[in-house]
Amino acid sequence: MAAPVQGWFDDRSGWSSLRKRLAARRVRGNSPLLYVGGLLAFLLVLQVASGLLLLLHYQPNAAEAHASVAFIVGGIPYGALVRSIHLWCSDLLVLTVIVQLFSVAIRRAFRSPRELMWVSGLFSFFILLAFAFTGAVLPWSQDAYLQARVGSEIAGQMPVAGPLLRYIMRGGDEVTTATLRHAYGFHVAVLPAALTGLLFVHAVFLRRAMPEPTSERTPGTIPIYPDYLVRLGTVMTAALVLVISLATFVERPLGVAAEVTAAAPDGASPPWYLLFVHDLLLRAPPELLGVPSAKFIVGAGAVVILLAFFLPFFDRRGSRVTAALSALLLFAAVMLSIHAVL
Ligand code: HEM
Protein backbone atom coordinates (compact mmCIF):
# COMPACT_ATOMS: atom_id res chain seq x y z
CA MET A 1 0.00 0.00 0.00
CA ALA A 2 2.81 2.38 0.98
CA ALA A 3 4.76 1.86 -2.29
CA PRO A 4 1.92 2.85 -4.69
CA VAL A 5 1.10 5.90 -2.56
CA GLN A 6 4.80 6.83 -2.53
CA GLY A 7 5.01 6.39 -6.31
CA TRP A 8 1.88 8.51 -6.81
CA PHE A 9 3.30 11.24 -4.56
CA ASP A 10 6.73 11.05 -6.27
CA ASP A 11 5.17 11.47 -9.72
CA ARG A 12 3.51 14.67 -8.63
CA SER A 13 6.13 16.20 -6.31
CA GLY A 14 9.44 14.94 -7.75
CA TRP A 15 10.55 14.21 -4.15
CA SER A 16 12.75 11.16 -5.04
CA SER A 17 14.84 13.02 -7.60
CA LEU A 18 15.13 16.05 -5.28
CA ARG A 19 16.31 13.72 -2.47
CA LYS A 20 18.93 12.15 -4.77
CA ARG A 21 20.18 15.58 -5.84
CA LEU A 22 20.38 16.75 -2.19
CA ALA A 23 22.21 13.55 -1.18
CA ALA A 24 24.83 14.22 -3.91
CA ARG A 25 25.50 17.84 -2.79
CA ARG A 26 27.65 18.53 0.26
CA VAL A 27 28.01 21.53 2.62
CA ARG A 28 30.44 22.40 5.41
CA GLY A 29 28.86 20.55 8.33
CA ASN A 30 30.56 22.64 11.03
CA SER A 31 29.66 26.11 9.69
CA PRO A 32 27.46 27.78 12.39
CA LEU A 33 25.95 30.08 9.73
CA LEU A 34 24.15 27.10 8.17
CA TYR A 35 22.34 26.32 11.44
CA VAL A 36 21.74 29.85 12.79
CA GLY A 37 19.93 30.88 9.59
CA GLY A 38 17.65 27.82 9.83
CA LEU A 39 17.05 28.43 13.54
CA LEU A 40 16.09 32.07 12.90
CA ALA A 41 13.71 31.07 10.11
CA PHE A 42 12.11 28.49 12.41
CA LEU A 43 11.67 30.97 15.30
CA LEU A 44 10.19 33.48 12.88
CA VAL A 45 7.63 30.93 11.63
CA LEU A 46 6.70 30.17 15.26
CA GLN A 47 6.42 33.89 15.99
CA VAL A 48 4.18 34.60 12.98
CA ALA A 49 2.00 31.53 13.71
CA SER A 50 1.48 32.49 17.37
CA GLY A 51 0.94 36.16 16.35
CA LEU A 52 -1.79 35.15 13.88
CA LEU A 53 -3.53 33.13 16.60
CA LEU A 54 -3.40 36.12 18.98
CA LEU A 55 -4.83 38.29 16.23
CA LEU A 56 -8.04 36.22 16.26
CA HIS A 57 -9.05 37.62 19.67
CA TYR A 58 -6.97 40.77 20.18
CA GLN A 59 -8.87 44.10 20.09
CA PRO A 60 -6.64 46.97 18.90
CA ASN A 61 -8.28 49.85 20.78
CA ALA A 62 -7.40 51.35 24.14
CA ALA A 63 -10.79 50.55 25.71
CA GLU A 64 -10.59 46.81 24.98
CA ALA A 65 -6.93 45.88 24.31
CA HIS A 66 -6.01 44.92 27.89
CA ALA A 67 -9.28 43.06 28.49
CA SER A 68 -8.86 41.17 25.20
CA VAL A 69 -5.37 39.97 26.17
CA ALA A 70 -6.71 39.04 29.64
CA PHE A 71 -9.43 37.04 27.85
CA ILE A 72 -6.84 35.32 25.60
CA VAL A 73 -4.88 34.33 28.72
CA GLY A 74 -7.79 33.37 30.99
CA GLY A 75 -10.74 32.55 28.76
CA ILE A 76 -9.41 30.67 25.74
CA PRO A 77 -8.02 27.12 25.92
CA TYR A 78 -4.21 27.28 25.44
CA GLY A 79 -4.46 31.08 25.02
CA ALA A 80 -1.96 31.65 27.84
CA LEU A 81 0.44 29.19 26.18
CA VAL A 82 0.15 30.91 22.77
CA ARG A 83 0.77 34.39 24.28
CA SER A 84 3.70 33.05 26.29
CA ILE A 85 5.18 31.35 23.19
CA HIS A 86 4.89 34.70 21.33
CA LEU A 87 6.71 36.48 24.16
CA TRP A 88 9.51 33.94 24.70
CA CYS A 89 10.01 33.44 20.98
CA SER A 90 10.36 37.21 20.58
CA ASP A 91 13.14 37.24 23.20
CA LEU A 92 14.91 34.26 21.62
CA LEU A 93 14.71 35.85 18.17
CA VAL A 94 16.30 39.08 19.38
CA LEU A 95 18.95 37.13 21.36
CA THR A 96 19.82 34.87 18.40
CA VAL A 97 20.22 37.84 16.04
CA ILE A 98 22.42 39.69 18.58
CA VAL A 99 24.63 36.59 18.98
CA GLN A 100 24.74 36.18 15.19
CA LEU A 101 25.67 39.84 14.53
CA PHE A 102 28.46 39.85 17.12
CA SER A 103 29.74 36.48 15.96
CA VAL A 104 29.92 37.80 12.35
CA ALA A 105 31.71 40.97 13.56
CA ILE A 106 34.20 39.07 15.76
CA ARG A 107 34.92 36.45 13.07
CA ARG A 108 35.18 39.32 10.55
CA ALA A 109 32.76 37.44 8.30
CA PHE A 110 31.35 40.70 6.89
CA ARG A 111 34.25 40.90 4.41
CA SER A 112 33.81 40.89 0.64
CA PRO A 113 31.59 39.49 -0.89
CA ARG A 114 29.33 39.51 2.18
CA GLU A 115 29.04 43.29 2.73
CA LEU A 116 25.39 43.51 1.68
CA MET A 117 24.47 40.48 3.79
CA TRP A 118 25.84 42.35 6.79
CA VAL A 119 23.90 45.53 5.93
CA SER A 120 20.59 43.71 5.27
CA GLY A 121 21.13 41.57 8.41
CA LEU A 122 21.63 44.70 10.52
CA PHE A 123 18.48 46.29 9.05
CA SER A 124 16.54 43.09 9.86
CA PHE A 125 17.78 43.30 13.45
CA PHE A 126 16.36 46.81 13.85
CA ILE A 127 13.07 45.69 12.31
CA LEU A 128 12.93 42.89 14.90
CA LEU A 129 13.55 45.43 17.66
CA ALA A 130 10.71 47.55 16.24
CA PHE A 131 8.49 44.44 16.32
CA ALA A 132 9.41 43.84 19.95
CA PHE A 133 8.80 47.52 20.88
CA THR A 134 5.41 47.78 19.13
CA GLY A 135 4.38 44.32 20.45
CA ALA A 136 5.18 45.36 24.02
CA VAL A 137 2.75 48.31 23.66
CA LEU A 138 -0.17 46.14 22.45
CA PRO A 139 -1.39 44.64 25.79
CA TRP A 140 -1.93 48.27 26.91
CA SER A 141 -1.03 47.42 30.49
CA GLN A 142 0.59 49.93 32.83
CA ASP A 143 3.95 48.37 31.99
CA ALA A 144 3.21 48.63 28.25
CA TYR A 145 2.34 52.31 28.66
CA LEU A 146 5.52 53.06 30.64
CA GLN A 147 7.68 51.15 28.15
CA ALA A 148 6.14 53.19 25.31
CA ARG A 149 7.06 56.38 27.17
CA VAL A 150 10.58 55.32 28.16
CA GLY A 151 11.38 53.73 24.77
CA SER A 152 10.19 56.70 22.73
CA GLU A 153 11.87 59.15 25.12
CA ILE A 154 15.24 57.38 24.72
CA ALA A 155 14.86 57.26 20.90
CA GLY A 156 13.89 60.96 20.95
CA GLN A 157 17.34 61.88 22.33
CA MET A 158 18.99 60.77 19.09
CA PRO A 159 20.63 63.61 17.16
CA VAL A 160 18.85 64.84 13.99
CA ALA A 161 16.27 62.05 13.56
CA GLY A 162 15.34 61.78 17.29
CA PRO A 163 12.23 64.04 17.43
CA LEU A 164 10.78 62.49 14.26
CA LEU A 165 11.44 58.98 15.56
CA ARG A 166 9.76 59.82 18.89
CA TYR A 167 6.76 61.24 17.00
CA ILE A 168 6.45 58.09 14.88
CA MET A 169 6.82 55.79 17.89
CA ARG A 170 4.14 57.71 19.84
CA GLY A 171 1.82 58.42 16.93
CA GLY A 172 1.89 62.05 18.11
CA ASP A 173 3.68 64.27 20.64
CA GLU A 174 2.61 62.30 23.71
CA VAL A 175 1.90 58.66 24.52
CA THR A 176 -1.89 58.46 24.14
CA THR A 177 -4.40 55.95 22.90
CA ALA A 178 -3.22 56.87 19.37
CA THR A 179 0.13 55.26 20.29
CA LEU A 180 -1.64 51.91 20.59
CA ARG A 181 -3.32 52.25 17.16
CA HIS A 182 0.01 53.22 15.63
CA ALA A 183 1.87 50.35 17.30
CA TYR A 184 -0.80 47.91 16.07
CA GLY A 185 -0.57 49.11 12.44
CA PHE A 186 3.21 48.78 12.50
CA HIS A 187 3.20 45.43 14.32
CA VAL A 188 0.80 43.56 12.06
CA ALA A 189 1.20 45.31 8.68
CA VAL A 190 4.16 47.67 8.12
CA LEU A 191 6.85 45.64 9.91
CA PRO A 192 5.83 42.20 8.53
CA ALA A 193 5.89 43.67 5.00
CA ALA A 194 9.29 45.34 5.62
CA LEU A 195 10.80 42.20 7.17
CA THR A 196 9.54 39.96 4.34
CA GLY A 197 11.14 42.27 1.75
CA LEU A 198 14.40 42.49 3.68
CA LEU A 199 14.67 38.76 4.28
CA PHE A 200 14.13 38.16 0.58
CA VAL A 201 16.96 40.57 -0.25
CA HIS A 202 19.12 38.97 2.49
CA ALA A 203 18.49 35.51 1.01
CA VAL A 204 19.43 36.72 -2.50
CA PHE A 205 22.74 38.13 -1.16
CA LEU A 206 23.29 34.94 0.85
CA ARG A 207 22.92 32.77 -2.25
CA ARG A 208 25.51 34.85 -4.08
CA ALA A 209 27.94 35.07 -1.16
CA MET A 210 27.89 31.53 0.23
CA PRO A 211 30.08 28.88 -1.42
CA GLU A 212 27.99 26.68 -3.76
CA PRO A 213 27.32 23.20 -2.38
CA THR A 214 29.90 20.84 -3.83
CA SER A 215 29.70 17.25 -4.99
CA GLU A 216 33.32 16.55 -3.94
CA ARG A 217 33.87 14.59 -0.74
CA THR A 218 36.24 17.12 0.86
CA PRO A 219 37.02 16.80 4.61
CA GLY A 220 34.50 18.58 6.88
CA THR A 221 31.66 18.41 4.34
CA ILE A 222 28.45 16.40 4.81
CA PRO A 223 25.60 15.55 2.39
CA ILE A 224 22.66 17.96 2.53
CA TYR A 225 20.35 14.93 2.71
CA PRO A 226 20.07 13.33 5.21
CA ASP A 227 22.99 14.55 7.40
CA TYR A 228 22.62 18.34 7.24
CA LEU A 229 18.80 18.30 7.26
CA VAL A 230 18.75 15.90 10.24
CA ARG A 231 21.16 18.15 12.17
CA LEU A 232 19.07 21.22 11.33
CA GLY A 233 15.92 19.35 12.41
CA THR A 234 17.62 18.56 15.75
CA VAL A 235 18.47 22.25 16.28
CA MET A 236 14.86 23.24 15.49
CA THR A 237 13.42 20.54 17.76
CA ALA A 238 15.68 21.70 20.61
CA ALA A 239 14.50 25.30 20.04
CA LEU A 240 10.85 24.17 20.07
CA VAL A 241 11.34 22.24 23.32
CA LEU A 242 13.06 25.28 24.87
CA VAL A 243 10.31 27.73 23.80
CA ILE A 244 7.47 25.45 24.95
CA SER A 245 9.22 24.71 28.28
CA LEU A 246 9.82 28.41 28.97
CA ALA A 247 6.25 29.27 27.90
CA THR A 248 4.82 26.56 30.16
CA PHE A 249 6.92 27.01 33.26
CA VAL A 250 7.99 30.68 33.37
CA GLU A 251 5.01 33.00 33.76
CA ARG A 252 4.88 36.38 32.00
CA PRO A 253 2.27 38.35 34.00
CA LEU A 254 0.05 40.73 32.04
CA GLY A 255 -0.19 43.37 34.79
CA VAL A 256 -2.91 45.95 35.34
CA ALA A 257 -4.56 48.02 32.59
CA ALA A 258 -2.82 51.24 31.51
CA GLU A 259 -3.54 54.51 33.30
CA VAL A 260 -2.83 57.05 30.57
CA THR A 261 -2.82 59.92 33.06
CA ALA A 262 -0.07 58.24 35.11
CA ALA A 263 2.76 60.48 36.28
CA ALA A 264 6.37 60.32 35.12
CA PRO A 265 7.50 56.78 34.30
CA ASP A 266 9.68 56.25 37.37
CA GLY A 267 10.67 52.66 37.91
CA ALA A 268 9.70 51.52 34.40
CA SER A 269 11.96 48.66 33.44
CA PRO A 270 13.07 48.50 29.80
CA PRO A 271 13.32 45.21 27.89
CA TRP A 272 16.45 43.18 28.71
CA TYR A 273 18.34 44.19 25.55
CA LEU A 274 18.08 47.88 26.50
CA LEU A 275 18.98 47.42 30.17
CA PHE A 276 22.56 48.61 29.62
CA VAL A 277 21.42 51.88 27.97
CA HIS A 278 18.93 52.48 30.77
CA ASP A 279 21.60 51.78 33.40
CA LEU A 280 24.05 54.19 31.72
CA LEU A 281 21.37 56.90 31.52
CA LEU A 282 20.44 56.48 35.19
CA ARG A 283 24.00 56.61 36.51
CA ALA A 284 25.53 59.24 34.25
CA PRO A 285 26.14 62.77 35.62
CA PRO A 286 23.70 65.43 34.31
CA GLU A 287 26.19 66.53 31.63
CA LEU A 288 29.02 64.87 29.68
CA LEU A 289 31.48 67.18 27.87
CA GLY A 290 28.95 70.01 28.25
CA VAL A 291 26.12 68.05 26.56
CA PRO A 292 23.09 66.69 28.51
CA SER A 293 24.15 63.13 29.27
CA ALA A 294 21.02 61.50 27.75
CA LYS A 295 21.74 63.22 24.42
CA PHE A 296 25.45 62.35 24.69
CA ILE A 297 24.91 58.63 25.41
CA VAL A 298 22.13 58.10 22.84
CA GLY A 299 24.09 60.19 20.28
CA ALA A 300 27.21 58.06 20.84
CA GLY A 301 25.08 54.92 20.44
CA ALA A 302 23.65 56.29 17.17
CA VAL A 303 27.19 56.94 15.85
CA VAL A 304 28.25 53.37 16.73
CA ILE A 305 25.15 52.01 14.91
CA LEU A 306 25.85 54.19 11.86
CA LEU A 307 29.49 53.04 11.78
CA ALA A 308 28.32 49.43 12.12
CA PHE A 309 26.28 49.75 8.91
CA PHE A 310 29.37 50.92 6.99
CA LEU A 311 31.79 48.54 8.73
CA PRO A 312 32.43 46.26 5.70
CA PHE A 313 33.19 49.28 3.50
CA PHE A 314 35.76 51.06 5.64
CA ASP A 315 37.25 47.85 7.05
CA ARG A 316 37.45 45.85 3.84
CA ARG A 317 39.83 43.21 5.15
CA GLY A 318 38.18 42.91 8.55
CA SER A 319 40.96 44.06 10.90
CA ARG A 320 41.68 42.54 14.29
CA VAL A 321 40.97 45.97 15.84
CA THR A 322 37.35 45.81 14.63
CA ALA A 323 36.99 42.29 15.97
CA ALA A 324 38.51 43.29 19.34
CA LEU A 325 36.29 46.41 19.59
CA SER A 326 33.18 44.35 18.83
CA ALA A 327 34.12 41.84 21.54
CA LEU A 328 34.77 44.71 23.98
CA LEU A 329 31.41 46.34 23.17
CA LEU A 330 29.58 43.05 23.75
CA PHE A 331 31.44 42.48 27.03
CA ALA A 332 30.65 46.02 28.27
CA ALA A 333 26.94 45.70 27.32
CA VAL A 334 26.66 42.32 29.12
CA MET A 335 28.46 43.65 32.25
CA LEU A 336 26.30 46.80 32.38
CA SER A 337 23.12 44.72 31.93
CA ILE A 338 24.17 42.41 34.80
CA HIS A 339 24.95 45.51 36.89
CA ALA A 340 21.48 46.93 36.11
CA VAL A 341 19.76 43.76 37.32
CA LEU A 342 21.78 43.32 40.55
C1 HEM B 1 3.19 38.88 11.40
C2 HEM B 1 3.68 38.60 12.55
C3 HEM B 1 3.06 38.98 13.89
C4 HEM B 1 1.74 39.10 14.26
C5 HEM B 1 0.50 38.88 13.41
C6 HEM B 1 1.73 39.49 15.66
C7 HEM B 1 0.60 39.75 16.41
C8 HEM B 1 0.58 40.17 17.73
C9 HEM B 1 -0.62 40.51 18.48
C10 HEM B 1 -2.04 40.44 17.94
C11 HEM B 1 -0.22 40.88 19.73
C12 HEM B 1 -1.13 41.37 20.87
C13 HEM B 1 -1.58 40.29 21.77
C14 HEM B 1 -0.79 40.25 23.09
O15 HEM B 1 -0.30 41.26 23.55
O16 HEM B 1 -0.67 39.14 23.65
C17 HEM B 1 1.24 40.78 19.77
C18 HEM B 1 2.01 41.05 20.87
C19 HEM B 1 3.39 40.99 20.90
N20 HEM B 1 4.22 40.71 19.83
FE21 HEM B 1 3.63 40.15 17.97
N22 HEM B 1 3.04 39.58 16.09
C23 HEM B 1 3.88 39.28 15.04
C24 HEM B 1 5.25 39.26 15.04
C25 HEM B 1 6.05 39.59 16.13
C26 HEM B 1 7.50 39.62 16.13
C27 HEM B 1 8.40 39.27 14.92
C28 HEM B 1 7.90 39.99 17.40
C29 HEM B 1 9.26 40.18 17.98
C30 HEM B 1 10.40 40.08 17.45
C31 HEM B 1 6.68 40.19 18.19
C32 HEM B 1 6.66 40.55 19.52
C33 HEM B 1 5.53 40.76 20.29
C34 HEM B 1 5.54 41.09 21.69
C35 HEM B 1 6.78 41.26 22.59
C36 HEM B 1 4.18 41.22 22.09
C37 HEM B 1 3.64 41.54 23.49
C38 HEM B 1 2.97 40.32 24.07
C39 HEM B 1 2.31 40.58 25.42
O40 HEM B 1 2.98 41.13 26.31
O41 HEM B 1 1.17 40.20 25.60
N42 HEM B 1 5.60 39.93 17.38
N43 HEM B 1 1.69 40.36 18.53
Ligand 1 within 6 A of CB of 85: no
Reported as a single tens digit per residue, the pLDDT across 203-255 is 898 887 776 767 777 888 888 889 999 999 999 999 999 999 999 999 999 99
Q: Say if residue 131's pLDDT is above 90.
A: yes
Find all residues with CB under 8 Å of 40, minimum gap 6, and list them.
Answer: 93, 96, 97, 100
More confident residue, 258 or 217: 258
CATH numeric code, 26-265: 1.20.810.10
Quote the CA–CA distance of 71 and 64 in Å, as a whole number: 10
Q: What torsion, rounded to 10 degrees, do the Cα atoms 317, 322, 323, 329 define?
A: -160
Do residues 40 and 34 lie in contact, with contact meaning Cβ atoms separated by under 8 Å?
Answer: no
Q: For residue 57, which of 73, 33, 45, 81 has the smallest C-alpha distance?
A: 73
Quote the CA–CA distance of 66 and 284 in Å, as a whole number: 35
Other Cβ atoms less than 10 A from the Cβ of 220: the count is 10
Give residue limits of the domains in the chain.
26-265
Quote the CA–CA distance of 331 and 102 in Å, as a whole number: 11
The alpha carbon of 76 and the centre of ligand 1 are apart by a number of angstroms equal to 17
Phi, psi of 291 (to 5 degrees): -110, 140
Quote the CA–CA distance of 28 and 224 in Å, as a whole number: 9
What confidence score (pLDDT) does residue 317 get?
Answer: 84
Q: Among 187, 195, 273, which residue has the most ligand 1 atoms within 8 Å of its CB, making it the best to mutate? A: 187
Reported as a single tens digit per residue, the pLDDT across 3-48 is 889 889 989 999 888 888 888 888 887 777 789 989 999 999 999 9
What confidence score (pLDDT) does residue 183 get?
Answer: 96
More confident residue, 248 or 342: 248
Ligand 1 within 6 A of CB of 114: no
Other Cβ atoms less than 10 A from the Cβ of 243: the count is 23
Q: Say if residue 260's pLDDT is above 80.
A: no
The alpha carbon of 321 and the centre of ligand 1 are apart by a number of angstroms equal to 38
Reported as a single tens digit per residue, the pLDDT across 295-327 is 999 999 999 999 999 999 988 888 899 999 999
Exposure string of 131-144, with b = 16+ CB inside 10 Å and e = fewer, is bbbbbbbbbbbbbb
Q: What is the average per-residue pLDDT within 60-64?
A: 93
Q: What is the average per-residue pLDDT within 254-280?
A: 78
**Alpha carbon separation from 175 to 168, 254, 260, 262 (Å, rounded):** 11, 20, 8, 11
Ligand 1 within 6 A of CB of 185: no
What confidence score (pLDDT) does residue 8 get?
Answer: 92
Q: For residue 277, which of 255, 311, 305 has the smallest C-alpha distance?
A: 305
